[in-house]
Structure 1
């Protein structure tokens, strides 16, 4: 769902009117570890892996998935749940500590496959995905088995980091050496990626950090840049007790680096360790501040009164060493560019801007939580979906901090499923039992997978509310699933629906160019969407240069006939606002090309199916017509084209009045000097070989007949391979293959 536009009136400056502080860790309802960090102008991002699958008495790591979080204010975090799951992606094993970067609106993650067997590389248009393979060259991995290069002598080949420099050049680094057999290791690697193909420039280069003290390099390699200086940080070995996060600096991203000190020790508070047998971190600058994210054992240790979450097998008080949590604190530099050792806090960093309640938020958006659980519905090729599951018979709530309601909020909307009656959400201020601003009773949808929109009025919410609580009430636990929520009021901008590409609805009867699908709207809800694309990468760029529809990912090619939509895969769809002149029967003709017989699509009007259309062919270069009889209502409607069988190109659709009507394209081949060529008229066609030499000329009624005539012409036997046939009048071309 997209966000509502913000028009709040007060407290828009960073920190203006904000006094609340965050609580570490960022999530208290599942076990997370090995964080990485990145930031752009709008958000600070964290990715983690998860210890959730580990049983209570685990004596090792069970790590299979990556989670993602983001924050605009460093206090309220949106948890997107599982964004990539090795258990559901073919060819990938465990996923351990990973690195993240964002550049020009695209997100990149490097992850270790199998805990040390290589490094995968994926990308996405948003932190929640969908994530696709970014390696290229037909490879599954960037590094290691089935990769472009090997691990280059690094023993474990894991804990990768990714760094994108100011000029857009990308670097990937990884470790680590074995702390037992090589206790003095400096065995880290860094490789430079050269261009959009993501091919490494040569093999990796070993990273050297000079003047090391007794704490040697082990794992968690990471590169960041501050005021022109490159910082290489890493987790030290276990020889001197618990590992620390140390760093070196250089004026060259490839090093060598000189050791400078410790960024983060073993996180401990009041003399009590909250870390354990390893250490990991991520660093990013955001809105004039620098932050370090790291893991500890706060939840498993019950630190600071935290609820100890049961392990995956339901047993209480799980093994602390293998049930970690993720925290964040601000990091400061000295005047000479060295880093002050980070002070680990319960509070976390200060909130740097107020929270806007008038956006539409995924349900797990909060600064603190109690008595909740969550469920991730990961599907490869789709954006992540994460839902909140309250333990509503107990004390169960989310807290949102530093909320700027402007003049006043008037309503609250929540998208939720409920498998019981009398489930409700109370909106309160100050505490979970504080002043009641409103109550939303949820519709009983019969199960936890069917969602409905619920609205209720609120009062007393104006100006800046330091602590806002969403309190979940019900007779039984886990009978409701919350997907998203938001407030309405003085800051609300109504959602804007999708609209025709040219500003005017397509006329029927008439032609629809497939690349000119509707422009998406803004706001929330399905009514704003105009397309669905399984793969965020626009493959059409490879064949046509610049993308025709920027930021959509729809695969649009430039071919001889103009732009076509290609790479069509089952489940993808495009929508078009149409204006049907008269209700009644029509014949739909679609210009398609494919080399298989299993492709297909359906058409629907306002979500009502009107046609199922099989597609078959023998060449990607030869466009043929498929047709279907449809019945259309008069007036303006939304026509949806949905792919049901993979792999075909589609150029346009034409609707002709009447059942089994003639194809309008056959009635008019071309116009030249006021001469109209009808269905029974003929046009001149020229045939060229691939060197551009004209090898024949003849007449035909249309290009399909011209291709047939050329294949049957004895002269074609003298021309090997592919020929180009061109209509002199309208410039239409087609390829045809001949063999001797």
Structure 2
């Protein structure tokens, strides 16, 4: 008798959205480096009341930034969290880390990476590192932008940064938000400011971006000499003049200069409630990858599927198209997501926290292994990978690095469905001694060509089976 398989929740095959189903992530910002897209996200985490019931997300305890990356835009590797604010974080002066922005610049012949974040709505900080994954340090020991910064004294919310490094190497930071009393149509709270060559200082005075019905969520991208400033409109519920952005939508302005002047055009992405039946704030990032343009945005689809849509958000991807005249076409948010770019190679070592889809599992960083592992593995759980290319010769063996637990169990290898064709089965023994990473191997037969791959975990229900660190097929 086969044991029942657990069901995917939120991200269901073959859909690409939300990007991951084992964790939340809001306010996405994209960094393309090498052959990967890195997405940095506000680390939404469940909050509970005194009775253990999930309550509305207050954002007040969020002091980490979550990071995922992909080379094909469907299978995503979970890199865990960056400890940003608080006593455990790099920026000990800060209390929160919201709405990150990340950028790469070559300085002194070396690749440098900068991660900007909002310390609630009171200021913007910056961390620096030597890779997209850090390690991250606080280079200035204080906020980069505060109310004492020239030109921002009357900005309601000092948050939601976006950063552009122009073709000449000059950096610019876009930020701000909020609606002063009675100023819904022209809040005047969006700003752009020059960054110093070191990317950790600002120059001159912040300039106002006259964004109609501005609320929050700065975005910036450049295409064919045109600068596109994008933002989320406010929720003012009275009648608006014709041509104004509707409530809670992503709108855009353009300029021939990174500092403006700016011309308003229209909105391009409706509120998540229009597409997914659960409304909330609207936050986005636009980026280019392999000559195509994409928009990352968040919605409460995963938490809705879990029955707890109380402000816990998940990142999604969609295609973005510019017309011949440079205008941006309207975007349809959906569960389908974007097309996979290239096949997944199973013959390289794969970090186990790389998933197209999943059911039941979580991930956590294991200091003893120095990596992020797939954990909470129970009988009937599984992870799936999209578009795996086994080649014409096919796979002959499969190996996995695991940490054995008291339960032990099996990893079944299925094609195209968690209950699809079985091409191999790896036995993982129960633990015998202290936790350590061990390698196990098994023969594989029938894995040829391109298929979705499912690693299905079997064992005794209610016991910890094992933790999965990495895996690989051999031809």
Distance 1:333 1:52, change over 3 A: same
Cα deviation, 1:80-103, whole Å, max 9, x if unaligned, reads: 111234341132211111112234
1:98 to 100, 125, 131: 100
Equivalent residue, structure 1, for 2:47: 54
Distance 1:52 1:208, change over 3 A: same
Q: Is the 8 A contact 2:57 2:312 kept in 1?
A: no
Q: How does 1:59-458 map to 2 (within 5 A)?
A: 60-61=58-59, 62-87=61-86, 88-89=88-89, 90-104=92-106, 105-113=111-119, 115-134=120-139, 136=140, 139-144=141-146, 151-178=152-179, 182-183=183-184, 184-196=186-198, 198-209=200-211, 212=212, 216-240=213-237, 242-268=247-273, 273-274=277-278, 276-302=279-305, 308=306, 317-318=307-308, 320-376=309-365, 385-393=371-379, 395-406=380-391, 407-445=393-431, 450-458=436-444
Q: How far apart, CA to CA, are the structure 2 residues paired with 1:346 and 1:448?
A: 43
Equivalent residue, structure 2, for 1:460: 446
Cα deviation, 1:407-434, whole Å, max 9, x if unaligned, reads: 2222222222122243221111011111
Q: How far apart, CA to CA, are the structure 2 residues paired with 1:203 and 1:485?
A: 52
Equivalent residue, structure 1, for 2:10: none
Q: How far apart, CA to CA, are the structure 1 residues paired with 2:261 and 2:225?
A: 15
SS at match of 2:310: helix
Cα deviation, 1:305-352, whole Å, max 9, x if unaligned, reads: xxx1xxxxxxxx32x232111111111111111111111121100112
Q: How far apart, CA to CA, are the structure 2 residues paired with 1:232 and 1:374?
A: 36
Cα deviation, 1:179-204, whole Å, max 9, x if unaligned, reads: 65642312112221222273322232
Q: How far apart, CA to CA, are the structure 1 residues paired with 2:163 and 2:367?
A: 24
Q: Is the 8 A contact 1:141 1:148 kept in 2?
A: no
Distance 1:179 1:469, change over 3 A: farther
Q: How far apart, CA to CA, are the structure 2 residues paired with 1:478 and 1:248?
A: 53
Q: Is the 8 A contact 1:363 1:388 kept in 2?
A: yes
Mean Cα displacement is larger for which, 239-248 or 284-293?
A: 239-248
Q: How far apart, CA to CA, are the structure 2 residues paired with 1:472 and 1:301?
A: 26
Gaps of 5+ in 1: 1-19, 303-307, 309-316, 490-740
Q: Is the 8 A contact 1:33 1:48 kept in 2?
A: yes
Q: How far apart, CA to CA, are the structure 2 residues paired with 1:487 and 1:25?
A: 27
Total equivalences in the alignment = 439
Q: How far apart, CA to CA, are the structure 1 residues paired with 2:295 and 2:319?
A: 6
Q: Is the 8 A contact 1:417 1:444 kept in 2?
A: no
Q: How far apart, CA to CA, are the structure 1 residues paired with 2:27 and 2:247?
A: 16
Q: Is the 8 A contact 2:346 2:389 kept in 1?
A: yes
Cα deviation, 1:91-145, whole Å, max 9, x if unaligned, reads: 22111111122345433210012x11211111223332211224x4xx4221128
Deviation at 1:384, TM superposition (A): 8.3
Cα deviation, 1:222-268, whole Å, max 9, x if unaligned, reads: 11111211000011111147511111010000112111111211125
Deviation at 1:371, TM superposition (A): 1.4
Q: Is the 8 A contact 1:81 1:384 kept in 2?
A: no
Q: Is the 8 A contact 2:376 2:467 kept in 1?
A: yes
Cα deviation, 1:507-563, whole Å, max 9, x if unaligned, reads: xxxxxxxxxxxxxxxxxxxxxxxxxxxxxxxxxxxxxxxxxxxxxxxxxxxxxxxxx
Distance 1:441 1:182, change over 3 A: farther
Q: Is the 8 A contact 1:418 1:444 kept in 2?
A: yes
Deviation at 1:37, TM superposition (A): 1.3
Q: Is the 8 A contact 2:102 2:115 kept in 1?
A: yes
Q: How far apart, CA to CA, are the structure 2 residues paired with 1:226 and 1:446?
A: 58
TM-score w.r.t. the length of structure 2 is 0.85
- Identify which of structures 1 and 2 has the higher relative contact order when contacts are C-alpha pairs closer than 8 Å and 6+ apart: 2
Distance 1:446 1:292, change over 3 A: farther
SS at match of 2:396: strand
Equivalent residue, structure 1, for 2:37: 44
Q: How far apart, CA to CA, are the structure 1 residues paired with 2:116 and 2:386?
A: 33
Cα deviation, 1:445-479, whole Å, max 9, x if unaligned, reads: 468953222222222222222x1101112223544
Q: Is the 8 A contact 2:156 2:178 kept in 1?
A: yes
Q: Is the 8 A contact 1:376 1:386 kept in 2?
A: yes
Cα deviation, 1:435-454, whole Å, max 9, x if unaligned, reads: 11212222444689532222
Deviation at 1:279, TM superposition (A): 0.8
Distance 1:301 1:53, change over 3 A: closer
Distance 1:385 1:170, change over 3 A: farther
Q: Is the 8 A contact 2:271 2:280 kept in 1?
A: no
SS at match of 1:204: strand
Q: How far apart, CA to CA, are the structure 2 residues paired with 1:484 and 1:149?
A: 50
Distance 1:282 1:152, change over 3 A: same
